[in-house]
Structure 1
Amino acid sequence: MSRVHVDEDIRPLSEFRAGVATFVKQIHETRRPMVLTQRGRGVAVLMDVQEYERMQERLELLEEIYKAEEQIANGKGVSHKDAKSQILRRLAE
């Protein structure tokens, strides 16, 4: 996902209401999220569906890595040799 361009991607909610189709097209084409504001404060982020799905996949992967690091730190890790043996055994079944 690309970074927000402050001069293009932060818009008032009232402006968004008046031109929804244009804003959705911009988000789809640029793949950048748009920050919607109300009374000068950020209230929502609008983003392309594919970019949102990619972000969710990345977050899930990071959560799995974090979980694995905790398990290793708590002595629940498995050596490479043991993991390989377990996988090969399961594949043989």
Structure 2
Amino acid sequence: MPKVLPTEDVRTLSEFRANTAAFVNQVKETRRPLILTQHGRSAAVLLDVKAYEDLIEHAELLHDVEVAEAQIAEGKFIEHDDFKKYIFERLGL
């Protein structure tokens, strides 16, 4: 995800309401997130759809790695050679 440029990518909620289409186009073209503020504090982030999908995919992958690491720590795993043997038996090879 490209780096946020504070002079271009941080806007008030009032500005966003008044220029929604322009800001959506900005996010689509630059692929940078738009940070929306309310009462001087960050309130929301507008992301390009692809950037959002990439972020979700990355989070899901990290979660899968955490689950796998926990399973390994608990001894819930199969050694490579045992798994290979199991698969070959299932395939009748």
Task: Report the TM-score range of the alignment, normalised by the length of the smaller protein.
Answer: 0.7 to 0.9
Per the alignment, residue 28 of structure 2 pairs with 28
The whole-number CA distance in structure 2 between the counterparts of 1:86 and 1:30 is: 50
Give the partner amino acid of 1:70: A
**Paired residue for 2:45?**
45
1:8-27 to 2 correspondences below 5 Å: 8-27=8-27
**Matched residues, number:** 92
Distance 2:34 2:88 in 1: 47
Paired amino acid for 1:62? L
For structure 1, the 5+ residue unaligned runs are none
Root mean square deviation, CA, Å: 1.6
Q: Identify if the C-alpha distance between structure 1 residues 87 and 35 changes in structure 2 by more than 3 Å, giving closer, same or farther.
A: farther
Bigger-Rg structure (1/2)? 2
TM-score normalised by L of structure 2: 0.87
Between the aligned partners of 1:2 and 1:40, the Cα distance in structure 2 is: 24
Equivalents in 2 of 1:87, 1:28: separation in Å? Answer: 46
Could you tell me how far apart the structure 2 residues matched to 1:52 and 1:68 are? 24
CA–CA distance in structure 1, aligned partners of residues 8 and 87 of structure 2: 50
Separation in structure 2 between the aligned mates of residue 38 and residue 44 of structure 1, nearest angstrom: 9
- Cα distance in 2, alignment partners of residues 26 and 54 from structure 1: 19
Aligned residues with identical type, % of pairs: 52
State how far apart, in whole Å, the 1-side matches of 2:87 and 2:11 are.
51
Aligned match of 1:3: 3
Q: With the length of structure 1 as denominator, give the TM-score of the two structures.
A: 0.87
